[in-house]
Chains A and B, each alone.
Chain A
Amino acid sequence: NAGVTQTPKFQVLKTGQSMTLQCAQDMNHNSMYWYRQDPGMGLRLIYYSASEGTTDKGEVPNGYNVSRLNKREFSLRLESAAPSQTSVYFCASTTGTLFETQYFGPGTRLLVL
């Protein structure tokens, strides 16, 4: 099992450009999450998908959109990147049962100039 995979690993964008961060899991998990990690702030939830076909906003959704393409894949889109979106982005997944822990991908480093 590869677990949770994310692409790309690193990306540089100019302000105003768009891009999609990809996430896939091969653990047959129901729930998937997107976080951003900024120094001194821990991880903050951007969006999550409790199950295939549903998505909900997290703590910091502004400037982002998501798509739960199927059970395996959950993508995060920046329509018009801003320097404030420079961050490390992590995808995570879980079975969705209340006792299950989250499994994280390796992260995507995004730099917006």
Chain B
Amino acid sequence: AQSVTQLDSQVPVFEEAPVELRCNYSSSVSVYLFWYVQYPNQGLQLLLKYLSGSTLVESINGFEAEFNKSQTSFHLRKPSVHISDTAEYFCAVRKVDDYKLSFGAGTTVTVRA
């Protein structure tokens, strides 16, 4: 079975500063990788995903993540955060032949002015 580790549970950051959220996974088979975002009192929304091809994937709101197969990582970055990026971020993994997701414990990002 695959497992997902998010290395930081809380990340405070100032507005317009960069942020990196770390995610490592373990799996004996090929996987697809996802980042979901959960704004306060809401459900989860897909932020970005890696299925195949270019190892660098981007979202429409400035986040990017890079798949590193040798380090089994899928870290999420944003060069300049906004107050509105305050949320909880979940890394998730799915085996390529399965429909079930495995989630990390989540990283809470708090952006301060």
Asked whether any CB of chain A lies closer than 8 Å to the CB of B45, the reply is yes
Q: Which chain A positions have C-beta within 8 A of B7?
A: none
Q: Which residues does chain A contribute within 8 Å of B100, judged by CB atoms?
A: 33, 45, 48, 58
B83 within 8 A of A: no
Asked whether A31 is an interface residue with its Cβ less than 8 Å from the other chain, the reply is: yes
Give how many A-B residue pairs fall within 8 Å (CB-CB).
Answer: 49
Do A101 and B99 touch across chains, with their CB atoms under 8 A apart?
Answer: no
Bound complex: CA of A58 vs CA of B94, how far in Å? 14
**Which chain A residue has the least Cβ–Cβ distance from B104?**
A42
Q: Which of A90-106 contact B (CB under 8 A)?
A: 90, 92, 94, 96, 98-99, 101-102, 104-106
Q: Which residues of B contact A48 (CB under 8 A)?
A: 99-100
Q: Which of A22-74 contact B (CB under 8 A)?
A: 31, 33, 40-45, 48, 50, 58
Instruction: List chain B positions with a Cβ less than 8 A from chain A.
Output: 4, 6, 9, 34, 36, 42-46, 49, 51, 90, 96-97, 99-101, 103-106
Interface residues of A (CB under 8 A from B): 4, 31, 33, 40-45, 48, 50, 58, 90, 92, 94, 96, 98-99, 101-102, 104-107
